[in-house]
């Protein structure tokens, strides 16, 4: 047997407070602060017990409520001063904020009820055009297999100066470092060609690491590699999180 | 001159976005702007009277053919797409921006009582909201406002078509 928990979703502390005021059928200009503070705090307790994240803003308003409550308990110092105008109700600022929020909440509801494009009303050619804007127009994407990459690898190797190949590179470079470097550079540029990724580092070790890093990133589906036709430029792009 | 109306109709049919009167005037320099507006109004009425699948509507400062809202179910079925829905948080954020623009993020947060960062980011990505500049105060914070796309998506001629905050307040009190 399971429990059915019905929870109201609140957009924030002001929303919760408005809900409590409505539920108790309270006059917003004369909020019984003790009652509301109690209910507000017990609501937060409930949210916590349900393991919901209670955002910091909820706690800020809780503190504000308690502050107002304590202020209302204290005799106002201004009462003793004669000729002084009535002192501000400690609740007034909060009431103002609530009223303002209420109007925007209504505005949001009204906006949502309008006939929305792509939800209620449609213009000509609604479907295809908007969804394909991100794709490059000049190139047809052809997904690459590993062999194409290997081929590209060899093509670059073969252009290397033979003497340079004889050098022993003692610099240690881990695959993880290379992967991170590629991700960093892609995060900045979004799309790069294989040649660009190699940069000027035309030694075998670097090319090898770059190549391995790309394979690993492809396996992890962090990047997409594609090519416009055979022998075309190989492009590496970051997979966008959706 | 009888052709003007048909030409205007053809221009709007061809265009991807809403067509402004000025654009029509460029094509038909001999026709007065008032006349163009009058013909547009006639066209709008004709489509309305015909009671077909679509209407000619004034949105985002221009004119565009749009399907009748009554047929949304079938069009969604045809496009096999899930309609784009904005979350309540996003709608609230958008409402504050629409009414208070140019507005700072800190002001939006204050009106809503919560952090609006992620909603704001989503709205910027969907191009419903844009950066209008920086406010000339310490820290030079960014000011946000709505875009033309906002008007298009929400089927608005311009911002003045939105109910005023006072009207909303009265509306709320009646409810």
Rounded alpha-carbon distances, angstroms, from residue A86 to A29, A31, A62, A70, A93: 16, 18, 26, 19, 15
Of B66, B114, B172, the CB nearest to A11: B114
First CA to last CA across chain B, in angstroms?
51
* Chain A residues near residue B98 by CB distance under 8 angstroms: 107, 111
Q: What is the per-residue pLDDT across B72-113, written as a single tens digit (0 to 9) for each?
A: 989 888 887 766 778 889 999 999 999 999 999 999 999 999
A75 versus A163: which is more confidently predicted?
Answer: A75
The pLDDT value recorded for residue A79 is: 54
The pLDDT value recorded for residue A7 is: 56
Q: What are phi and psi of A236, to 5 degrees?
A: -115, 125
Please indicate, yes or no, whether residues B69 and B108 belong to a single structural domain of this protein.
no
Question: Worst-scoring range by mean pLDDT, A26-40, A116-130, B79-93, B138-152?
Answer: A116-130
The pLDDT value recorded for residue A137 is: 38
Rounded to 5°, the CA angle A157-A163-A164 comes to 60
Of B79, B92, B153, the CB nearest to A108: B92
Please indicate, yes or no, whether residues B66 and B10 belong to a single structural domain of this protein.
yes
Return the residue matching tokens 């003497």. Answer: A163
Q: Rounded to an integer, what distance in angstroms lies between the CA atom of residue B39 and that of residue B145?
A: 33
Query: Average pLDDT in the A63-77 region?
Result: 85
Q: What are phi and psi of B145, to 5 degrees?
A: -150, 175
Q: Is the pLDDT of residue B156 over 80?
A: yes
Query: Average pLDDT in the A63-90 region?
Result: 73
Instruction: Tell me which of B17, B45, B76 is where a domain ends.
Output: B76
Confidence of residue A191 (pLDDT cuts 50, 70, 90): confident
For residues A195 and A156, is the Cβ–Cβ distance under 8 A? Answer: yes
Secondary-structure breakdown of chain B: helix, strand, coil percentages, each rounded to the nearest 5: 55, 15, 30
Q: Is the pLDDT of residue A229 over 90?
A: no
Please indicate, yes or no, whether residues B107 and B68 belong to a single structural domain of this protein.
no
Please indicate, yes or no, whether residues B93 and B30 belong to a single structural domain of this protein.
no
Please indicate, yes or no, whether residues B110 and B51 belong to a single structural domain of this protein.
no
Q: Rounded to an integer, what distance in angstroms lies between the CA atom of residue B119 and that of residue A213?
A: 35
Please indicate, yes or no, whether residues B105 and B59 belong to a single structural domain of this protein.
no
**Interface contact flag, A102 B99, Cβ < 8 Å:** no
Query: Average pLDDT in the A140-148 region?
Result: 57
Across the beta sheet with A191-193, the strand order is A142-143, A223-227, A234-238, A191-193
Using the CB atoms, write b or e for A163-187: b if 16+ within 10 Å: eeeeeeeeeeeeeeebbeebeebbe
**Interface contact flag, A104 B92, Cβ < 8 Å:** yes
Please indicate, yes or no, whether residues B48 and B14 belong to a single structural domain of this protein.
yes
* Chain B residues near residue A125 by CB distance under 8 angstroms: 16
Chain A residue with minimum CA distance to B149: A117
> Does the CB of B49 have a partner CB in chain A at under 8 Å?
no
The pLDDT value recorded for residue B175 is: 62
Instruction: Tell me which of B76, B101, B117 is where a domain ends.
Output: B76
In a domain, B82, yes or no: no
> Does the CB of B155 have a partner CB in chain A at under 8 Å?
yes
The pLDDT value recorded for residue A106 is: 92
| Residues of the domain holding B43 | 3-76
Please indicate, yes or no, whether residues B121 and B56 belong to a single structural domain of this protein.
no
In a domain, B83, yes or no: no
Query: Average pLDDT in the A75-99 region?
Result: 72
The pLDDT value recorded for residue A80 is: 53
Helix or strand (DSSP H, E) at A70: helix A56-73
Q: What is the per-residue pLDDT across B86-96, written as a single tens digit (0 to 9) for each?
A: 888 999 999 99
The pLDDT value recorded for residue A152 is: 73
CATH at residue B137: 1.10.10.10
B172 versus B52: which is more confidently predicted?
Answer: B52
Please indicate, yes or no, whether residues B94 and B170 belong to a single structural domain of this protein.
yes
Q: In this structure, what token pair is assigned to residue B46?
A: 């004709």
Q: Is the pLDDT of residue A101 over 50?
A: yes
Instruction: Tell me which of B76, B108, B138 is where a domain ends.
Output: B76
Q: How many domains does chain B have?
A: 2
Using the CB atoms, write b or e for B120-148: b if 16+ within 10 Å: bebbeebebbbebeeeeeeeeeebbbbbb
Question: Worst-scoring range by mean pLDDT, A79-88, A183-192, A231-240, B148-157?
Answer: A79-88
Q: Which domains does chain A have, with CATH numbers?
A: 13-112 (no CATH), 142-238 (1.10.10.580)
Please indicate, yes or no, whether residues B71 and B92 belong to a single structural domain of this protein.
no
Q: What is the per-residue pLDDT across A37-50, written as a single tens digit (0 to 9) for each?
A: 999 998 888 877 77
Q: Is the pLDDT of residue B16 over 80?
A: yes
Query: Average pLDDT in the B28-54 region?
Result: 94
């Amino acid at each position: 047997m399971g429990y059915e928990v019905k929870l109201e979703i609140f957009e924030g502390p002001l929303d919760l407070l408005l809900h409590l005021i409505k539920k108790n059928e309270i006059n917003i200009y004369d909020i019984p602060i003790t009652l509301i503070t109690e209910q507000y705090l017990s609501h937060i307790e409930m949210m916590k017990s349900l393991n919901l994240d209670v955002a910091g803003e909820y706690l800020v308003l809780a503190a504000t409520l308690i502050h107002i409550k304590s202020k209302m308990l204290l005799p106002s110092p201004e009462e003793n001063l004669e000729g002084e105008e009535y002192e501000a109700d400690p609740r007034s600022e909060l009431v103002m904020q609530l009223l303002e929020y209420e109007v925007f909440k209504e505005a949001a509801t009204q906006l949502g009820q309008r006939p929305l494009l792509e939800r209620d009303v449609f213009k000509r050619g609604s479907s295809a055009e908007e969804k394909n804007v991100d794709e490059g127009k000049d190139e047809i994407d052809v997904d690459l297999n590993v062999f194409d990459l290997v081929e590209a690898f060899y093509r670059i190797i073969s252009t290397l100066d033979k003497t340079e190949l004889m050098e022993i590179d003692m610099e240690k470079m881990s695959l993880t470092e290379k992967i991170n470097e590629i991700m960093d550079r892609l995060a900045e540029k979004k799309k790069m060609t294989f040649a660009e990724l190699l940069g000027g580092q035309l030694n075998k070790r670097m090319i090898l690491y770059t190549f391995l890093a790309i394979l690993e990133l492809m396996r992890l589906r962090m990047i997409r590699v594609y090519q416009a036709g055979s022998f075309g430029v190989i492009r590496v792009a970051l997979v966008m999180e959706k | 001159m009888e052709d003007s109306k048909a030409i205007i109709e053809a221009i709007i049919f061809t265009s991807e976005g809403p067509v402004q009167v000025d654009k029509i005037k460029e094509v038909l320099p001999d026709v007065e702007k008032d006349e163009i507006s009058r013909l547009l109004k006639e066209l709008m009425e004709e489509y309305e009277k015909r009671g077909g699948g679509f209407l000619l509507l004034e949105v985002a400062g221009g004119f565009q053919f749009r399907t009748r809202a009554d047929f949304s179910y079938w069009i969604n079925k045809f496009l096999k797409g899930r309609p784009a829905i904005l979350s309540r948080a996003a709608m609230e954020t958008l409402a504050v921006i629409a009414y208070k623009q140019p507005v700072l993020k800190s002001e939006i947060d204050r009106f809503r009582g919560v952090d609006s960062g992620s909603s704001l980011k989503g709205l910027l990505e969907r191009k419903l909201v844009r950066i209008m500049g920086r406010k000339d105060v310490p820290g030079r914070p960014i000011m946000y406002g709505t875009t033309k796309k906002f008007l298009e998506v929400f089927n608005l001629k311009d911002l003045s078509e939105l109910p005023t905050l006072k009207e909303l307040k009265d509306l709320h009190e009646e409810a």
